Each structure stands twice: as C-alpha cells, then as structure tokens.
Structure 1
Amino acid sequence: MSDKSDHDLLQLAKDAALAAGEAIMRLYDIGDFESYQKDDESPVTSADYKANEIITDLLLKHTPDIPILSEETKHASLEERKTWKRYWLIDPIDGTQEFIARSGDFAVNIALIEDNKPKIGVIFWPPGQSLYYALAGHGAFKESPEASGPISVRKLDDPHNSVVILAISRRQPRERVISKLCAKRVYQTLPLGSCSLKSCFIAEGKADVFMRLGVTGEWDTGASQCIVSEAGGTIYAADFEPLSYNQRNTLENPDFIVLGDQNVPWRDIIQY
C-alpha cells in the first residue's frame, strides 16, 4: 500500500486536476479537438482522452499500488474491483456536451474511494479557475481568483417556507424535474451544465437542491459526494437511499438528488 498520507493523496489529486484542466483549456481556447460518439451514443472528445492520460499518468507515477477506474478507460470486472480496498475514480471531463457547446460548464472530477465510500473529492472548473476539494472529516474548500477558504451549504432562514434555489440542467427538460417537486414551495432556478458543478454550487451555498434524472456513472458523483457532505449537505439516490460505489456489476448511478441545508424537510419537497 502507498505510504502517502491522506493529505498527500489530496494534494496529488489537486495537482492532477489542475494539470488536466490546463491542457483542456489549451484545446478549448483554440478549438483544437475532435468529437466522437461512444457505443452508448454519449459524446467524447480528444480533450477527454488527453485529460485522462494526464491524470492517470500522474496517479500511476505517485501511487502505482492504487487502482484507477476512469470513465474513459476499460472497466475492470466487479470480481476484480471487489478486491480493491481503495481506488481512484475519475471523470476527465464532466460535461463533455457543454465543452463541445462552449458553454464553459464543464469540470474535472477526481475522487478516492475507500471502503466503498468517497474519502477524497477534487473538482476543478477550468474556465472559472475554481478548485473545489474535500477530505472526509476535514471540511470542504474552494480556491479561486476571487476568494479561497472553507465552503458550506446555504442555510435557509425558514427551512419550511424560504425560496429554494434549484440547480437545473441546461439540456434536461426542466418540466420533468419540477414535476417531482412539491407545488406548494416557491423555487428559483439556476441553469448550469455539468453534474459536478451543480453539486459544487450547492456546496458553496449558491443553490439548494439538484435532481438528476437520467443516466450517469459513479465517476459523476464520487468527488461531488465527498465535497457536498463535508460542506454540510448530502447526496442520495432519488428514493432517499444511499448511493453505492464499486458494489454492483453496473457502474451506472440511479437517479439522484443533491441536497443542501439538512434542516429543510426534503422528503416532503421531493415527490419522486
């Protein structure tokens, strides 16, 4: 096993995310990338592959004994994965559609999963030069040109009556999401791209809830779950059951919800 401390591993993940983000922005700024379609019809680009190469090379160099599970590489079988006490979980570009559409709403996700739970979470938003990160039990933080320091979810003045800020996808039909919410509450919507950026906005108090209906992978939530949890929020499957990591043959997530202030009666608000 690696003799690096948890803080060393966190720094390594931050370094890898920043290095990948720098390379992504070079390609993004000049439009020098190719787009492809995967077997599941989701998009991928040469920038995804380049970011994946940078991240995996750095992690393999410094932690050769820690396995890596990335969206953009061949996935080990559950039989093999079950032997992993901990592993790196990576999405080189979360929000590839937004990258292609040039909305700026894309991020690099790196998590360390230990005993089937997110231990470290790092999310870098290259266009915003914002780095979000957390180590379980040590709080959540953000580094950006504007400000750096601890972050936490927004506390509503009245958990039962305050306006709830709903982070919502730019691509997903919002009517489907809003139909799942209690009609008696008042909502303000905040359109964003990638899943992880919506989660980060909840972690830093810019939004209160995000509901994802549709296919995602465990790499879409691993880093987010660590950061949101350390900021005082939580992520559940949409039926309020915990998300699982490395415990099923499929690596697809169920529908899930990201929740901020834990004093809000979310079970009354989410009518899933």
Structure 2
Amino acid sequence: MQPIARVVDESPADLRRAIRAGSVRGPTTGRAPGYLQGNLAILPRTHAQDFLAFCVANPKPCPLIGVSEPGDPRVPSLGADLDLRTDVGAYRVFRGGPTYERVADLAGVWRDDLVGFVIGCSFSFEESLQRARIPVRHIAAGRNVPMYVTNLETRRAGPFGGPMVVSMRAFSPADAIRAIVLSERQPLAHGAPVHIGDPAQIGIPDLANPDFGDAPVLEPGDVPVFWACGVTPQVAIREARPDLAVTHEPGHMLVTDKPAEGASIGP
C-alpha cells in the first residue's frame, strides 16, 4: 500500500486539474483542506427521480450538495471548471449488475441522459478536527479511511434501498467527544456519527477488515466512532441494477470550491 500524498496548500481547482491530467489518482483524504468533498453517483434520467427521493429520505448517508442537469457534466455551483467526467481520480461503472469496471475517466461512458448527484463526504470535516489538534489516524498513516457495510437499513425509494455504509475513525475517549461536537456542525458532511463503540452492534464482524478503504489505525484505549458514509448509494445502486450507473472509487472524491465551513450550522 502506497502512502497517500498530502499537499496542504493546494486549491480545489489545482487538485481537479491534477486529477484531470492524470498526475493525481489516489484517495483525496487530507487534500485541499477546508473545502467540501463529494461522493458521486451518476444515473440515467429514468432513475434520477427515484434516486433523488432516496437521498431526501436518507439525509445522513446522502446529504446532497449538487445535482447536474441531464446530459450536462458540469455543476457550476460547486466549481466553475468542474467536470464530472474527468475530475474524480477513479470511477466505478456498473452496467445492470453488481459487478463494475474501474475507469480513469468517463470519456467513453458519458451519455446525454445522465444526471450527476454530488453527495457530501466526511473527509470535509476532518480539517476541523486537525485544526482542533485531534489526531485523525488514517491521515497521519497515509491511508484511506476504513468503510463498512452495516445492518442499519436505509429508507427505500423505488428500486433504491439496502444497508447503510459507515466510515470509522478511532479516537481517545476525550477526543471522540470533541470530534462528535465538531462533526455535528457540518450536516452536509454527514454531521454527527450514527454509532459509537461496539462495531458488532451495527453488524460489523471484524473491524480490522473493512469492506472499502484501508485497515484502521487503532491505539490502545481508542473508541471507534462511525459516521454515515456516501458510499451507501453504491450498495443501493447494486440492488437497483440500472442499465448504467457511475460512482466514484471509494475515497477518490470530487473536490469542490465550496468551503467546508459553509456546510456548518451554529457559530
């Protein structure tokens, strides 16, 4: 496993250009700090209304931050030059089933009936944790965040449903409390966690073996804290089986020009 590179002073536009040029392909955790990152789901127009309803019914794992017009790969509210076809480091393409093809861009996939949904990401609140001097262990280790499929069911909308996916970060008990308070202020980055403590209570049999991402970094006495995750739509898409669907490779996010603090509530 190659450590994840971090460039603290890069802008979202700089990072998107680097991804578009193929010079950055890894996970975006810790990159362009202070800006909203987004999970991506792209579906045919015939499924867009049901998927929108799924997001509205499940705001914790699917907080919408942007939706494209059919056939338009741009979402101007998230970045003037942003292009859904090129600005994610790795994509997953599903074609009517649970298996997928991993591609570097959507040049050979894009259609004029596709609608893009950008969903908030917990990477966005990590910068506020670091500013508060709360260790974010997977960033310090140069790893992707661990993600797990749970036994927490989402609310179904049309063909979309299934279990919630969560991301996990481990902290000392005191830091866990502070992380909960800080994340709660950013509802568009999934807000407060959905579970704290025993992973078996939410159907996770082995914390050391995540379903997505890298193995967790745990210190003695750590408390595992679980946030709703924007990979949840990938599970829902596998169940719905549209003729074509595109998502991001977990951890390879769409980095926007919107400040993460813009997703905050309260002072």
TM > 0.5 fold call: no
TM-score w.r.t. length of structure 2: 0.28
Highest relative contact order (Cα 8 Å, sep 6+), 1 or 2?
A: 2
